[in-house]
Amino acid sequence: MPVSPPRPKGPPLNALRAFEAAARLGGFAAAAEELGVTPGAISQHIRSLEDWTGRPLFRRRAQGVRLTPAGEALLPGFLRAFDALGEAVRDLRALSPGRRVSIAALPSVAQLWLQPRLPALRAALPDAQFSVTVLEQPPNLLREIFDVALFMRRPDAIPGGLVLAEDRIAPVCAPSLASQLAGPADLADQTLIHDESWAEDWALWARANRVAIGDTTRGTHFSLYGMAVAEAEAGAGVLMGHLALLDRALAAGRLVQPFAGSVPVDRVLMAEIARGPMSAALRAAFAALS
Compute φ and ψ for 125, nearest 5 degrees. -130, 70
Q: How many CB atoms lie within 10 A of CB 105?
A: 22
At 206-232, the pLDDT tens digits run 999 999 999 999 999 999 999 999 999
69-125 per-position pLDDT tens digit: 999 999 999 999 998 998 888 888 777 766 889 999 999 999 999 999 999 999 999
Model confidence, pTM: 0.82
Position 33 scores a pLDDT of 87
- Distance (Å, whole) CA 14 – CA 29: 16
Q: Which segments in the chain show pLDDT lower than 70?
A: 1-2, 97-98
At residue 62, the pLDDT reads 84
Mean pLDDT, rounded, of the chain: 92
* Domains located in the chain, CATH noted: 13-88 (1.10.10.10), 94-163+268-289 (3.40.190.10), 167-265 (3.40.190.10)
115 Cβ contact list (under 8 Å, min separation 6): none
* Contact of 32 with 38, CB cutoff 8 Å: yes
Q: What is the model's pLDDT at position 269?
A: 97
Half-sphere exposure of 208 (CA within 13 A, CB side): 15
Q: CA triplet 42, 43, 48: central angle to 5 degrees? A: 100
Q: What pLDDT shows up at residue 203? A: 95
C-alpha distances in angstroms, 166 versus 27, 47, 58, 148, 242? 32, 45, 41, 18, 10
